[in-house]
Amino acid sequence: MKAASFLYELPEDLNTALQLLNSSDIDVLPLAGGQSLMPMMNFRVSQPDLLVDLNKIDSLKKIDSDSNSIKIGSMVKYSDMEKSDLIKEKIPLINNVIPFVAHSAIRNRGTIGGSIALADPAAEFPSLLVSLDATIELMNIKGTREVKSEDFFTGIFETDRKTNELVTSINIPINKSPKKFGFYEITRRHGDYAMAGAFVTTDGDKKEFSNSRVVLFAVSTKPLRIIDIEVFLNGNLLNDVSVQENAIDIINGYEFEGDLHNDTEAKKTYAKVSLKRALGELNG
Ligand SMILES: Cc1cc2nc3c(=O)[nH]c(=O)nc-3n(C[C@H](O)[C@H](O)[C@H](O)COP(=O)(O)OP(=O)(O)OC[C@H]3O[C@@H](n4cnc5c(N)ncnc54)[C@H](O)[C@@H]3O)c2cc1C
């Protein structure tokens, strides 16, 4: 199928894009890498009246840092992040995860802003950003607001973003000693969307879990942070196998979301396997 007819604008600055997005009488959507939106339009799942293409807005394509955080513009592509020395040095977890997002052709166009605005529960970046305690910056014609990534994702393909807002950047806090991390996902084939996955992070300069985060993805309607496991892990030795086993047992008390191919029990099993392997990676 082909997309229904639509109007198209290619603004060169953020202000013009925000003005266009502010139309209340027509359905306007921003276009980033188009890797999800174009297929959705071709299948007519999405039928906007106007597309506002963000690809000429250079201010959204920057990666900046200060001593406290890294700020990634929403139009930064996966392939740009892959090449960034700053990201490699300060948040290597991002570099470890990117090869698992689709395939290089898609990563050459797909953007961080597009991934989180879409909020696919099986996507890596929404949960990755929750595990890094990132903040999402949103802008409309009236101003800017910031939302914790944990509060930004509200359901399947649902976020806290209003229709007249753009995701403009993602801010990720950085410590003096970069965090230790573990990541694992289960997929049918490399590059497919995950059937389940887990992120574990902890402060980097200690032998015990400290300030840890545990986030599961592709097993719920949105990134699933499990604070019970974090509380249990904190203060325990990183490489204690019995601690890891007890942490995984906590998953038994949780309900998971099935999908077309996997029921809720299968998802629980995948969640446990993902967490076990992510904890193993942390020590690897
Ligand atoms: C075959 C295939 C396999 C894939 N596999 C994976 C995978 O394994 N893991 C994964 O995470 N993803 C996967 N993807 C999705 C890919 O990562 C997309 O690039 C990404 O989800 C969307 O990014 P985009 O820049 O292409 O956004 P677009 O497709 O342009 O936009 C997606 C949505 O976000 C909105 N949007 C875009 N930018 C903004 C913004 N700045 N502010 C507000 N709203 C905005 C759009 O209006 C649209 O609704 C796959 C895609 C394909 C086609």
* Chain segment 68-90, per-residue pLDDT in tens: 999 999 999 999 999 999 999 99
In a domain, 278, yes or no: yes
In this predicted structure, what is the pLDDT of residue 282?
A: 85
Token code pair at residue 116? 């989180």
In a domain, 86, yes or no: yes
- Does the pLDDT of residue 281 top 70, yes or no? yes
The response to whether residue 78 sits with its C-beta less than 6 Å from ligand 1 reads: no
The response to whether residue 41 sits with its C-beta less than 6 Å from ligand 1 reads: no
Ligand 1 center to residue 88 CA distance, Å? 22
Residue 194: DSSP 8-state: P
The response to whether residue 123 sits with its C-beta less than 6 Å from ligand 1 reads: yes
Report the residue among 103, 106, 145, 188 best suited for mutation to probe ligand 1: largest number of ligand atoms under 8 A from its CB: 106
Long-range contacts of 246-250, Cβ-Cβ distance < 8 Å, separation of 24 or more: 247/214, 247/275, 247/279, 248/272, 248/275, 248/276, 248/279, 250/226
**Listed residue (201, 191, 187, 170) closest to 273, CA to CA:** 187
Name the band, by pLDDT with cuts 50, 70 and 90, for residue 129: very high
Q: pLDDT for 177-200, tens place per residue?
A: 678 999 999 999 988 999 999 999
Asked if residue 185 and residue 164 are part of one domain, the reply reads no
Ligand 1 center to residue 120 CA distance, Å? 9
Ligand 1, atom 38, lies closest to the CA of 114
Ligand 1 center to residue 123 CA distance, Å? 9
In this predicted structure, what is the pLDDT of residue 117?
A: 98
- Does the pLDDT of residue 58 top 70, yes or no? yes
Ligand 1 center to residue 235 CA distance, Å? 38
**Which residues span the domain enclosing 137?**
58-173
In a domain, 1, yes or no: no
Domain end position, chosen among 122, 142, 173: 173
| Other C-beta atoms lying within 10 Å of the C-beta of residue 144 | 11
Asked if residue 73 and residue 21 are part of one domain, the reply reads no
In this predicted structure, what is the pLDDT of residue 204?
A: 87
Asked if residue 35 and residue 77 are part of one domain, the reply reads no
Domain at 48, CATH number? 3.30.43.10
In this predicted structure, what is the pLDDT of residue 284?
A: 62
Q: Tell me how many domains the chain contains.
A: 3
Name the band, by pLDDT with cuts 50, 70 and 90, for residue 283: low
